[in-house]
Structure 1
Amino acid sequence: MSIRASIASWTLIFGVLLVSLAWLPFTNVSIVPLSLIGPFAAGIACALLAGYYRTYRAETKLADALDCMGQVMAFMIAGVLLSYLASTLNFPEQDAAFYALDRSLGLDWLAYLKAVDARPWLGTILGLAYASILPQIIILVIVLAFSGRGDAARVMVLAMMLAALISIAISAVLPAVAMFVHLGLTPADYPNLNPGAAFVHVADIKALRSGAPFLVDLSRTEGIITFPSYHAAIALLMLLAGWAHPWLRWPFLVLNLLMIASTPIDGGHYFVDVFAGLAIALLCHVAARRFLAASSFKPATRPAEISPVLAGSQPG
């Protein structure tokens, strides 16, 4: 299964990269070449090392870890570039609609902000959880691969890629800037908090939508997707991946529930962003599991393929 799954994942990654590069000349975006080439080359190098260790050293656990990490590195760059290009489509922003939908569901984002701000210790915990994506992915890939659970790591990585593509497509036609900007808040409104992504993405969004020439350094990009919340999607996918290992199960359950809880504040997301991200993650997890299970299917041996020795030993 590993080889077929790897080929499928890398085909998806190269497909995203080729679409992005073909789209690039028709936008106001240009990129710093090394910021694309460097990380992508590192990802390919990991994949080549994985092939070597799987083929010539029979070290499948190390190969699974290297291949999954290579896919993560390469797709992060290709996916971020695609998300920036999608933002140039400049569809009308939907912040008012998302905020109204939250309120229609009885969800008061400002009350949530004030509740967390009144408990600085909780804001610190949620902020640390929000910033834990990369360490979590690294730990999950390494521990799952080296404990013989490489399939769980591959499901997680493939599901993350699928969820990213769906999130990019939706955010392209339903863009939003996020709650802090929509409500016109300033740090004085939450003196005890330091939200990780309250405003850091705003300058890039405005520049991409302006139509003016914009140079992107892919090593310094920000998450610009508001609806659906990709942060929430990744949290659920990491929770499900951690559940496959008895040592990781409960710590990663708690950590990723905290990450989901942190997303409205530290990510400036509407509650409906979070719900949509979780739904997409669940669908992509199921799709990735089914695809990888299908790729490992081996048809039963046909009667004509039975060994003549075995055939001759059967009663006449």
Structure 2
Amino acid sequence: MPTFQAHQRDAFLVLLVLCNAALFVFFQKTPDINAHLVTGALTALLYLGAAYYGDYRNETRIAQAFYCTGQLAAFTFLMATANHLLVLFQRPLIDPLLVHWDALLGFHWLTVISWFQASPFWDSILTLAYMSSLPQIAFLVVLLAFTGRSKKLNRFMNAFFVAATTTVGFWALFPSFGSMAYYLNAGLPVNTFGLTVDHAYVETLNYFYAGNWQVLDADRMTGIIAFPSFHSVLAVVTIYGFWRVPHVWLPALALNIVVLISVPIDGGHHLVDVFAGVAVAIVSILLAEGLFSLRSIASLTSPPVEDRSTT
């Protein structure tokens, strides 16, 4: 296999499989066997590709692209599965509190959404930006691998894993569905034309939260996290991944700023969801960079060493 540091993430994937299995048993739900088999087969093929190019062809860059893509495929599926199982704890939604926080900031979602829907051009731009997050991640992994930026790729992968796990973990304790779901569930008329999060989307959120289902159908799984916004997490972590990569980092920066703007609009989020997502991403990046490691903390707290050298 490739000789870059990624095996801790493999161990975490195994842990995720075991946790998901325990949750399926605990809630007496049935997994989507076909989806699990397809994801497992895809991951295995990517890992085999990594082994072939790493061990037999000595093509480390291609091997790393295969390997990290396999990890991403497995992680995103397993984490999404965990997310949809954790909702079955049916913790109280904190959306009323988040709406209140938005109001304190002077942000009124219904007013803002009406303004953007009156501008079809900007509404379309925000939709395209919002939908670009996962394709950006896939492109970024291949780009970093093929340009030999293995350290940056591993740090990006670590930040992605930490940020996603933190987001899902927090949301499991304090779930929320966003402004769109809050107002639609309150019976208020909301024009969802042209938005990614619409009436059908909110019905899917309510369906999973109610728990009146037996099989976790992968075709129905969707993004159900509001606070912290995972799209905001992705935007900041993606900026970090592209940072200072020639020819692409400035366009990536601009695109992901638009993604952040699109989150409350096209994604139906509260404004504070964006701030929380940005905070989670920054902390995860700092962890990936090792700035919160025990060695770094020790270096900050230890007394300075006297310089006894002679000139």
CA 8–173 in structure 1, closer or farther in 2 if over 3 Å, else same: same
CA positional deviation for 1:52: 2.6
What is the distance in 2 between the residues matched to 1:271 and 1:3?
A: 42
Report the 3-state secondary structure (helix = DSSP H, G, I; strand = E; otherwise coil) of the residue aligned with 1:245: coil
- Per the alignment, residue 217 of structure 2 pairs with 217
CA positional deviation for 1:4: 5.4
4+ residue runs of structure 1 moved beyond 4 angstroms? 185-189
What is the distance in 2 between the residues matched to 1:218 and 1:244?
A: 37
CA positional deviation for 1:17: 1.6
Whether the 8 Å contact between 1:155 and 1:289 is mirrored in structure 2 is yes
- Per the alignment, residue 306 of structure 2 pairs with none
CA positional deviation for 1:24: 0.8
- Per the alignment, residue 32 of structure 1 pairs with 32
What is the distance in 2 between the residues matched to 1:121 and 1:219?
A: 30
Asked whether 1:63 is paired with 2:63, we answer yes
- Per the alignment, residue 136 of structure 1 pairs with 136
Whether the 8 Å contact between 1:201 and 1:223 is mirrored in structure 2 is no
CA 85–189 in structure 1, closer or farther in 2 if over 3 Å, else same: closer
- Per the alignment, residue 248 of structure 1 pairs with 248
What is the distance in 1 between the residues matched to 2:55 and 2:200?
A: 44
What is the distance in 2 between the residues matched to 1:205 and 1:121?
A: 28
CA 146–187 in structure 1, closer or farther in 2 if over 3 Å, else same: farther
Asked whether 1:236 is paired with 2:247, we answer no
What is the distance in 1 between the residues matched to 2:48 and 2:54?
A: 10
CA positional deviation for 1:143: 1.4
CA 68–199 in structure 1, closer or farther in 2 if over 3 Å, else same: farther
Whether the 8 Å contact between 1:179 and 1:269 is mirrored in structure 2 is yes
CA 162–199 in structure 1, closer or farther in 2 if over 3 Å, else same: farther
Q: TM-score, normalised by structure 2?
A: 0.86
Report the 3-state secondary structure (helix = DSSP H, G, I; strand = E; otherwise coil) of the residue aligned with 2:218: coil
Asked whether 1:99 is paired with 2:99, we answer yes
Whether the 8 Å contact between 2:183 and 2:190 is mirrored in structure 1 is no
What is the distance in 2 between the residues matched to 1:205 and 1:126?
A: 22
> Which structure's CA Rg is the greater one?
1
What is the distance in 1 between the residues matched to 2:188 and 2:253?
A: 31
Q: TM-score, normalised by structure 1?
A: 0.85
CA positional deviation for 1:28: 4.7
Whether the 8 Å contact between 1:28 and 1:212 is mirrored in structure 2 is no
Share of identical aligned residues, percent?
29
- Per the alignment, residue 261 of structure 2 pairs with 261
CA positional deviation for 1:171: 1.0
Whether the 8 Å contact between 1:40 and 1:77 is mirrored in structure 2 is no
Q: What letter matches 2:273 in structure 1?
A: D
CA 72–271 in structure 1, closer or farther in 2 if over 3 Å, else same: same
CA 36–68 in structure 1, closer or farther in 2 if over 3 Å, else same: same
Superposition pairs for residues 1-316 of structure 1, below 5 Å?
A: 3=3, 5-184=5-184, 189-190=190-191, 193-290=193-290
CA positional deviation for 1:267: 1.1
Whether the 8 Å contact between 1:208 and 1:214 is mirrored in structure 2 is no
Whether the 8 Å contact between 2:180 and 2:197 is mirrored in structure 1 is no
Could you list the runs of 5+ residues in structure 1 that have no partner in the other structure? Answer: 295-316
CA positional deviation for 1:78: 0.4
CA positional deviation for 1:40: 2.6
C-alpha offsets along residues 201-249 of structure 1, whole Å, 9 cap, x if unaligned?
Answer: 4334323332433322224411111111001100111111111411111
- Per the alignment, residue 312 of structure 1 pairs with none
